Structure 1
Amino acid sequence: MTHDHDLVLRPTAAQTAAALNPPPGRCGGDLVVETLASLGATTVFGLPGQHALGMFDALRRSALRYVGLRVENNAGFAADAYGRITGEAAPLLLSTGPGALTSLAALQEAAAASAPVLAIGSQVPTAGLGGGRRGYLHELPDQAASFRGVVKSVHTVRSQSQIPSALAAAWQSALTAPHGPVWVEIPQDVLLAPASLPVVTGVDAAPEDLVPRPELTAVAADLLANAARPVIVAGGGVIRADASRKLRQLAERLAAPVVTTYGGKGAFPWTHPLSLRSWVEDRHTTDFLEDADVVLVVGSGLGELSSNYHTFRPRGRVIQIEADLGKLEANHPALGIHADARLALQALLETVPERTDATAPIRVREVLEKIDERITGQQLTLEQGLLTSIRRALPATSPSFWDMTILSYWAWAAFDAKAPNTLHSAQGAGGLGYAFPAALGAAVADPTGPVLAVSGDGGALYSVAELATARQYGLDVTWLIVDDGGYGVLREYLTDTFGETTAVDGAAQEAAVTDLTGPDFVALAESFGVPGTRTTPETLSADLAKALSTPGPSVVVLPARLRMFAPTHLDRQD
Structure 2
Amino acid sequence: MTRIGGDVVVETLRALGADTVFGLPGQHALGLFEALRRADDLRVVSSRVENNLAFAADGHARARLAADPHGPVPVTPMIVSTGPGALLTLASLQEARAASVPVLGISSQIPVAGLGGGRHGYLHELPDQQASFRDVVKSVHVVRSISQIPTALREAWESAATAPYGPVWVEIPQDVLLATANLPRLTSVTAAPAPLEPLPELVAEAAKLLDAAKNPVILAGGGALRSGAHDGLRRLAETLRAPVVSTFGGKGVFAWDHELSAQSWMEDWHTTEFLSDADVLLVLGSGLGELSSNYREFAPNGRIVQVEADLGKLESNYPALALHADVRHTLRALLDQLTPRAADGRAEAAVKDLLARVESRLDSQPLAAERKLIDDIRAALPEGTQTFWDMTIAAYWAWSAWNPDGAPIHTAQGAGGLGYGLPGALGAAAAGVRSLAVSGDGGAMYGLAELATAVQHQLDVTWLVIDDGGYGILREYLTGAFGQTTATELPRPDFVALAESFGIPARKTTVDTVRTDLADALRAPGPSVVVLPALLKMFAPTHLEHS
Question: What is the TM-score normalised by the length of structure 1?
Answer: 0.92
Matched, 1:144 2:130: yes
CA drift of 1:85 comes to 2.0
**Displacement of 1:188:** 0.7
| Residue in 2 that maps onto 1:266 | 252
The alpha-carbon deviation at position 572 of structure 1 amounts to 4.8
Instruction: Give the residue type in structure 1 aligned to 2:106.
Output: I
Q: Which stretch of structure 1 is more off in the superposition, 351-360 or 217-226?
A: 351-360
Higher deviation after alignment, 355-364 or 27-36 = 355-364
> Is the 8 Å Cα contact of residues 231 and 292 (structure 1) preserved in structure 2?
yes
Does the CA contact (< 8 Å) of 1:155 and 1:170 recur in 2? yes
Tell me the secondary structure at the aligned position of residue 60 of structure 1: helix
The more displaced of 275-284 and 354-363 is 354-363
Q: What corresponds to 1:7 in structure 2?
A: none
Instruction: Determine helix, strand or coil for the equivalent of 2:249.
Output: coil
CA distance in 1, matches of 2:544, 2:144: 54
Secondary structure in structure 2 of the residue aligned to 1:416? coil
Q: What is the CA distance between 1:61 and its match in structure 2?
A: 2.0
2:54 maps to what in 1? 76
Please name the residue that 1:464 is paired with.
Answer: 448
Rounded Cα–Cα distance in structure 2 between residues aligned with 1:519 and 1:137: 35
CA distance in 2, matches of 1:70, 1:48: 10
Larger Rg: 1
Amino acid at match of 1:459: G
By how many angstroms is 1:314 displaced?
0.6
Q: Contact 2:277 / 2:302 at 8 angstroms: preserved in 1? A: yes
Question: For 1:100-151, what per-residue CA distance to the aligned partner results, in whole angstroms no more than 9, with x for missing partners?
Answer: 0000111000001100000000111111111356111101110000000100
Deviation, structure 1 residue 570: 4.1
Report SS of the residue matched to 1:122.
strand
What is the correspondence of 1:136-535 to structure 2 with a 5 Å cutoff? 136-356=122-342, 357-419=344-406, 422-447=408-433, 450-502=434-486, 513-535=487-509
Tell me which moved more, 130-139 or 86-95: 130-139
The residue number in structure 1 matching 2:522 is 548
2:363 partner amino acid: T
Query: Structure 1 unaligned runs (5+)?
Result: 1-23, 503-512
Distance 1:194 1:487 in 2: 51
Q: C-alpha distance in 1, partners of 2:140/2:277?
A: 43
Q: CA deviation at 1:249?
A: 0.9
Distance 1:244 1:267 in 2: 5
**1:53 aligns to what SS in structure 2?**
helix
Aligned position for 2:32? 55
Q: Could you say what secondary structure the match of 2:129 adopts?
A: coil
Q: Distance in 2 between matches of 1:569 and 1:239?
A: 28
Indicate if the aligned counterparts of 1:281 and 1:569 stay in contact, CA closer than 8 A: no
Match of 1:536 among 487, 501, 510: 510
Paired amino acid for 1:518? R
Which of 72, 75, 79 is equivalent to 1:93? 79
Whether the aligned pair in 1 keeps the contact of 2:119 and 2:127 (CA below 8 Å) is no
Contact 1:266 1:422 in 2 (8 A): yes
Counterpart residue number, 2:67: none
Distance in 1, Cα, partners of 2:253 & 2:211: 23
Provide the rounded CA distance (Å) in 2 between the counterparts of 1:416 and 1:562: 20
Superposition deviation, residue 372 in structure 1: 0.9
2:267 maps to a residue whose letter is: E
After TM superposition, give the deviation of residue 368 of structure 1 in Å: 0.9
How far off is 1:170 after superposition? Answer: 0.1
Aligned length: 537
Query: Which sections of structure 2, spanning at least 5 residues, go unmatched?
Result: 65-72
User: 2:110 and 2:203 mapped to 1: Cα distance?
Assistant: 49
Amino acid of the structure 1 residue aligned with 2:398? A
Q: Deviations over 1:301-335 (max 9, x none)?
A: 11100000011111111000101001111111001
CA contact (8 A) 2:389 2:395 kept: yes
**2:70 corresponds to:** none
Q: Distance in 2 between matches of 1:110 and 1:54?
A: 27
Quick one: distance in 1 between partners of 2:13 and 2:227? 23
1:275-307, Cα deviation, whole Å (9 max, x unpaired): 111101111011111111000000111110000
Contact 1:72 1:99 in 2 (8 A): yes
For structure 1, which segment, 543-552 or 389-398, has the greater mean C-alpha deviation from structure 2 after superposition? 389-398
Between the aligned partners of 1:58 and 1:397, the Cα distance in structure 2 is 35
> Deviation at 1:569?
3.0
Q: Deviations over 1:393-447 (max 9, x none)?
A: 012321100000000000000111114x811000000000001100011011124
* Partner SS, residue 331 of structure 2: helix
Structure-1 separation of matches of 2:59 and 2:337? 35
Q: State the distance in 1 between where 2:464 and 2:192 align.
A: 39
Secondary structure, aligned partner of 1:445:
coil
> How far off is 1:162 after superposition?
0.6
Distance 2:203 2:117 in 1: 50
Instruction: Give the alignment's TM-score, normalised by structure 2.
Output: 0.97
2:89 is equivalent to residue 118 of structure 1:
no
* Residue type of the alignment partner of 1:539: T
Paired amino acid for 1:487:
Y
1:137 alignment partner, SS class: coil
2:43 maps to a residue whose letter is R
CA distance in 1, matches of 2:492, 2:322: 49
Whole-angstrom CA distance in 2 between matches of 1:246 and 1:446? 28
Q: 1:130 is paired with a residue of what secondary structure?
A: coil
In the alignment, does 2:37 pair up with 1:43? no
Once residues 117 and 356 of structure 2 are traced to their aligned partners in structure 1, the CA distance between those partners, rounded to angstroms, is 64
Secondary structure of 1:557 counterpart: strand
In 2, the alpha carbon distance for the partners of 1:571 and 1:521 equals: 38
> 1:198, 1:167 → 2: CA distance?
17
**Corresponding letter in the other structure for 1:348:** L
Matched-pair contact (CA < 8 Å) for 1:127–1:133: no
